[in-house]
């Protein structure tokens, strides 16, 4: 009887361990959607089509691309941001945009930019009547610019099943202070008015993360909240996408035991997969093109969630 109990215990532990580990990814081939610089993608579904937005490339502040389906064909169609806000440097970034539709059917663009006053990265907003823009900056100051954060970037909207709206973002941290963290801020329906205190969801506390966690994207499955995030230095091949799970959006989030997407797990098919966004049963992310460090292309995998665990393909 003791041997049977021991075997059963080992089996249960094995199942729990598997539940905390994503499946191997190397056998699944990623789809390259845009073979040009399109980093930190944010994707939104509008009717029967899709739009994607990226970090600044060249003179284009917020590149926008369109496609009839997640698999494409994708085509860059212009600059989503009509003008530079008064508080931002004209050449100071415009990183990791996020687009969301508000209850009044207008669209809100979140973006990070360097402030004129300090050069620190902060989060601002712009609005438009159409998802693809053009977006007009809103307000004379950033929406999120916490002095002790060392910079605030990577905004991402999450709207819960009850319609409650949240803004997730990264605090950069500092070499002499706390490492980077990901926060959740409850927002009013206008998407521009914070309500209540912000809540820390997770922090860079693993050696493999190199003091960096960023690019949050939340998915609600039947039983869990899954928070996808990037970690390590973005120019390194060690840059990867991980995920953490929690019973509620406020946590506590528990990180999976191993990365979900990494250069090694993908068999070298994508170099430094990160900046992920999960939309409509697909995970979109960037990776370095051509073995260099000059351009990050847009990639995609189908994604499912059996037993609240993300699985590629």
pTM over 0.85, yes/no: yes
Q: What is the pLDDT of residues 89-108, one digit of tens each?
A: 998 789 999 999 999 999 99
Q: What is the pLDDT of residues 256-302, one digit of tens each?
A: 999 999 999 999 999 999 999 999 999 999 999 998 999 999 999 99
In angstroms, the CA 118 to CA 98 distance is 23
Q: Using one digit for the tens of pLDDT, what is the confidence trace for 127-180?
A: 999 999 999 999 999 999 999 999 999 999 999 999 999 999 999 986 566 899
Q: Of 51, 42, 48, which Cα lies nearest the Cα of 75? A: 51
**Strand residues in 177-293 grouped as ranges (E):** 181-187, 199-203, 213-220, 225-231, 240-246, 254-255, 271-279, 282-288
pLDDT of residue 15: 35
Domains of the chain: 37-307 (2.115.10.20)
Count Cα neighbours of 145 within 13 Å in the Cβ-side half-sphere. Answer: 21
H or E element at residue 101: strand 88-101
pLDDT tens by residue, 198-252: 999 999 999 999 999 999 999 999 999 999 999 999 999 999 999 999 999 999 9
Helix (H, G, I), strand (E, B) or coil at 198: coil
State the pLDDT at residue 278. Answer: 98
**What is the per-residue pLDDT for 176?**
61
């Amino acid at each position: 009887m003791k041997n049977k109990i021991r075997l059963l215990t080992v089996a249960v532990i094995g199942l729990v361990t598997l539940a905390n580990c994503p499946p191997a990814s190397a056998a699944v081939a990623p789809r390259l959607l845009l073979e040009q610089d399109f980093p930190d993608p944010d994707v939104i579904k509008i009717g029967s089509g899709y739009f994607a937005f990226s970090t600044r490339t060249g003179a284009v502040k917020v590149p926008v691309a369109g496609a009839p389906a997640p698999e494409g064909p994708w085509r860059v169609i212009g600059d989503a941001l009509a003008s530079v806000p008064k508080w931002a440097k004209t050449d100071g970034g415009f990183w990791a945009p996020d687009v969301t539709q508000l209850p009044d059917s207008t669209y809100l663009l979140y973006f990070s930019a360097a402030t004129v006053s300090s050069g620190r990265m902060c989060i601002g907003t712009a609005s438009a009547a159409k998802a693809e823009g053009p977006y007009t900056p809103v307000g004379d100051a950033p929406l999120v610019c916490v002095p002790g954060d060392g910079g605030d970037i990577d905004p991402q909207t999450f709207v819960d099943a009850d319609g409650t709206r949240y803004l997730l973002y990264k605090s950069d941290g500092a070499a002499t202070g706390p490492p980077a963290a990901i926060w959740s801020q409850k927002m009013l329906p206008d998407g521009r008015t914070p309500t209540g205190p912000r809540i820390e969801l997770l922090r860079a506390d693993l050696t493999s993360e190199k003091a960096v966690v960023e690019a949050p994207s939340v998915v609600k499955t039947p039983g869990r909240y899954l928070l996808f995030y990037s970690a390590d230095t973005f120019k390194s091949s060690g840059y990867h996408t991980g995920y953490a799970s929690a019973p509620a959006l406020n946590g506590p989030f528990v990180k999976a035991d191993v990365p979900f997407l990494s250069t090694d797990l993908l068999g070298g098919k994508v170099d430094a997969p990160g900046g992920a966004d999960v939309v409509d049963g697909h995970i979109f992310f960037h990776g370095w093109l051509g073995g260099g460090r000059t351009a990050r292309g847009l990639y995609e995998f189908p994604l499912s969630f059996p037993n609240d665990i993300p699985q590629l393909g």
